[in-house]
Amino acid sequence: MAALMQTEHLCRHFGGLRAVDDVNFRLDQGEIHALIGPNGAGKTTFVSLLSGRVPVQSGRILLAGEDITHLPAHARVKKGIAYTFQITSVYPRLTVFDNVALAAQSAGAKPLKPAVAAALKRVNLTGFDDDLAGNLSYGHQRLLEVAMGLALQPRVLILDEPTQGLAAGEIEGFKALVRSLVPATTVLLIEHNMDVVMDLATRITVLNFGQVLASGTPDQIRANPDVQDAYLGGHDD
């Protein structure tokens, strides 16, 4: 099966720091693929390269076989790559409806209202249309951010630490939401909560010091001694 998205020898160094160092990575259609690793492993830099927010130094990024290495971020959005941030990136002084409408508009959705309504329904925010985004609870702001991502009609949805700051009940709801997105949308999940990773992911890639330490199924990653030494061994979860 051809990869939906892949990188070949991808590199990004900042001075002497090799944030992403010769990374070969494959994302298949319809999977939930988790990207894990210690703090400073290069995860956020890597997904910033995928989304076009940080320029590639060397190597290639392919989307369905097309070389998108040097496309700007807005062009990648139009190609179907949506990236939600580690910290909520909603517009606090706009309504929930307007936040999602801006995303839907940039994706060329017509008519706008049904597209917004569909995105809000997917994340269980129906009825919040007129609320100011800044007045929502933290958990609801995270869901709004996902709705904005879905309004872009993405082929690939990159979620960066989406459960950070969520209560246990909110995490269960979020996991159900992510499961409902596939296989229509392919999900790349950057997540520290290992219970969430092991529960959701079809495959897991582990980064360490900017390089791929291991890649495989949750069972393979859990049993990998190198991963245990570098990452899992230091965690209670």
**pLDDT tens string 138-157:** 889 989 999 999 998 899 99
Q: Could you list the beta-strand ranges (E) of 42-143.
A: 58-63, 66-67, 81-84
Would residue 48 count as lying in a domain? Answer: yes
Matching residue, tokens 């230091």: 234
Work out the number of other CB atoms within 10 angstroms of the CB of residue 209.
Answer: 15
Sort strands 58-63 and 66-67 into parallel, antiparallel or unpaired.
antiparallel
CATH, residue 39: 3.40.50.300
Q: Which pLDDT score, from 0 to 100, does residue 34 have?
A: 97
- Region 42-61: mean pLDDT is 94
Cα(37)–Cα(42) distance, rounded to whole angstroms? 8
Number of domains into which the chain is organized:
1
Would residue 24 count as lying in a domain? Answer: no
Q: Which pLDDT score, from 0 to 100, does residue 232 have?
A: 66
Give the structural domain span for 172.
Answer: 30-55+72-234
Total-model pTM: 0.89
Phi first, then psi: give them for residue 192, nearest 5 degrees.
-90, -25
Cα(156)–Cα(164) distance, rounded to whole angstroms? 21
Confidence class of residue 1 from pLDDT cuts 50, 70 and 90? Answer: low
Contact 120, 129 (CB under 8 A): yes
Tens of pLDDT, residue by residue over 104-142, are 988 777 888 999 999 999 998 999 999 999 999 988 998
Would residue 17 count as lying in a domain? Answer: no
- Region 170-196: mean pLDDT is 92
Q: At what angle do helices 138-151 and 112-122 cross, to 10 degrees?
A: 130
Would residue 121 count as lying in a domain? Answer: yes
Would residue 64 count as lying in a domain? Answer: no
Closest to 160 in 3D by CA, of 79, 70, 46: 46
Would residue 161 count as lying in a domain? Answer: yes
Confidence class of residue 237 from pLDDT cuts 50, 70 and 90? Answer: very low
Cα(153)–Cα(79) distance, rounded to whole angstroms? 10
**What is the distance of C-alpha 119 from the center of its chain?**
17
Q: Which pLDDT score, from 0 to 100, does residue 87 have?
A: 53
| End-to-end Cα distance, the chain | 34
